[in-house]
Structure 1
Amino acid sequence: MHPPEMRARARALRARGHNIHSVARSLSLPYTTVWHWCVDRPQPAVFGSAVRCFRCHPDQDGPPDPAAYAYLLGLYLGDGHLVTTDRTPVLRVYCADAWPNLIDKCDAAMRAVLANKVQRIQKRGCVAVQSTATHWPCLFPQHGPGKKHERPIVLADWQRAIVEAQPGDFLRGLFHSDGCRFANRVVVRGKEYVYPRYMFSNRSTDIMALCQWSLDLLGIAWRMNLPWSLSVARREAVAALDRHVGPKS
């Protein structure tokens, strides 16, 4: 028996326009299995992003790509913004020009989660990676008026389950938005020592707590050096975080 996430991935590929043969080939599944999943069942009378919104389909127990969702959630909580006042909601994440690969990763994550089309709007010193879709609010219920650090940020139970299963991808999104990895230099008794260090800064105590929780899930040691700033500096902790996050590029 195939797991539910495999069925969800097949239907997501089909919703993007792939034919049954290509879906079966890409997932190494029999043609008849994919046909029964994607064709031989009642089709919802919905269009656009509703077809891909896993929260609006009771037969889908999660996103087709949980890692991409966890990563995008981290980016959104850091440098993202969901505009719901326009006719169609717009998910927008700001990425610095200095990290072109980060822009590509954000674009890819949006497409893997929901977007059929992603725009890149050049701003001063950064690029706004954005997608317009009616169902973005379904996937990011943390949206609301005002700045994130001035209002509660609480994950829904289904979001917590995804982060618990994909803490490294969630941390990658957080650190790629509001974090950094750099060479820390200290002088002890006249001798200079250089070692890698991670820093994460966010004025929201709720978002900071989510970062701490995710690090704890992976057993990565951290400490607060300021009320809004977290440090990962122990050699084994940095090595562990390297496996999940790594430097921006």
Structure 2
Amino acid sequence: MSAKLPYVEHNPAIREEAVLLLRRGVTNRVVAEHLGIPRGTVGWWRHEDRRQRGEVYVQPTDCPRCTTREMDRPAYAYLLGLYLGDGHIISKYKQHHLSIFCNASQPGLIDAAEEAMHRVMPQPKVGRRRQHGCVEVKSYTWHWTCLFPQHGPGKKHERRIVLEDWQQEIVDAHPWEFLRGLIHSDGCRVTNWTVRNGKRYEYPRYFFTNKSDDIRKLCTDTLAKVGVRWTVLARGSDPFNISIARKDCVALMDAHIGPKC
């Protein structure tokens, strides 16, 4: 068992200087480095100073729904598509973050998810956590529920998913970014083949697969708005697959989305 570190009582003058700097807006890290004391000590002094003055600490935010900061609408449309596909929000005591799960073999997708999070809300910390076969891109702030009111208990395909008016306006203004997020999360571009007149014929096809009727409808409604024709390809009795196979529609998808990388 490791021994506890001895308690160190700092000179009151050092504490007074630290508190003065903290009240001026200097960060805990900078104060700790300037005075040569542990950052945890500085954090405790900040907490005690606020408590004694009756100051209620409010976590700073750059949430575009709670502040006057303008929303990066294209980035949000893309991130919304990622969230509806392979994302979720953890909302617990002392644990609150948005997670997007990306295939570990697609570094471009991982970078795009992280960039979208930064562009929508630059202030929160963003991290990556490698899991078996995937990378979880995480951004920490309570305010992700402001931007994704679809968050709720249970799995997304087991509850109603409806966009709010302000979200639908963004999707209508940036449909391709929204579709790109959906395809990058729960979609793919594959090469199918068939035999015609004894010869093998290959052709590209896009798929979007999701168990939620509401999310699939959001996808197909948006596809229709940009002029992409689609069909339902059922596996067994489950109509979970949206297929885009017409040559002109695949070309349109290639021009705006392309394969995941």
Q: Normalised by the size of structure 2, how large is the TM-score?
A: 0.74
SS in 2 for 1:84: strand
Q: Please name the residue that 1:157 is paired with.
A: 165
Question: Do the aligned residues in 2 keep the contact of 1:186 with 1:192 (CA within 8 Å)?
Answer: yes
How far is the alpha carbon of 1:189 from its aligned partner?
3.0
Match of 1:103 among 79, 91, 110: 110
How far is the alpha carbon of 1:187 from its aligned partner?
1.1
Instruction: Show structure 1 runs of 4+ deviating over 6 A.
Output: none
Question: Do the aligned residues in 2 keep the contact of 1:168 with 1:244 (CA within 8 Å)?
Answer: yes
SS in 1 for 2:92: coil
Match of 1:135 among 134, 138, 143: 143
Q: Please name the residue that 1:185 is paired with.
A: 193
CA–CA separation in structure 2 for the residues paired with 1:68 and 1:81: 17
Max radius of gyration: which structure? 2
Match of 2:73 among 66, 75, 88: 66
CA–CA separation in structure 1 for the residues paired with 2:76 and 2:146: 13
Residue 150 to residue 191, structure 1, CA distance change in 2 (3 Å):
same
Residue 86 to residue 95, structure 1, CA distance change in 2 (3 Å):
farther
CA offset digits 1:182-220 (Å, max 9, x no partner): 111111232111111101100000000000011011011
Match of 1:232 among 227, 230, 244: 244
RMSD of aligned Cα (Å): 1.4
Alignment of 1:62-101 (within 5 A): 63=71, 65-101=72-108
Gaps of 5+ in 2: 1-56
CA–CA separation in structure 2 for the residues paired with 1:128 and 1:228: 24
Q: Please name the residue that 1:248 is paired with.
A: 260
CA–CA separation in structure 1 for the residues paired with 2:120 and 2:110: 16
Match of 2:230 among 210, 222, 225: 222
Letter in structure 2 aligned against 1:240:
L
CA offset digits 1:143-181 (Å, max 9, x no partner): 011111100011010000000000000000000000000
Q: Share of identical aligned residues, percent?
A: 51
* Count, aligned residues: 200
Question: Do the aligned residues in 2 keep the contact of 1:115 with 1:133 (CA within 8 Å)?
Answer: no
How far is the alpha carbon of 1:98 from its aligned partner?
1.4
CA–CA separation in structure 2 for the residues paired with 1:167 and 1:214: 6
SS in 1 for 2:65: helix
CA–CA separation in structure 2 for the residues paired with 1:78 and 1:164: 18
Q: Normalised by the size of structure 1, how large is the TM-score?
A: 0.77
Q: Please name the residue that 1:7 is paired with.
A: none
SS in 1 for 2:260: coil
How far is the alpha carbon of 1:243 from its aligned partner?
1.8
CA–CA separation in structure 1 for the residues paired with 2:227 and 2:207: 17
SS in 2 for 1:122: strand
How far is the alpha carbon of 1:88 from its aligned partner?
4.4
Q: Please name the residue that 1:10 is paired with.
A: none
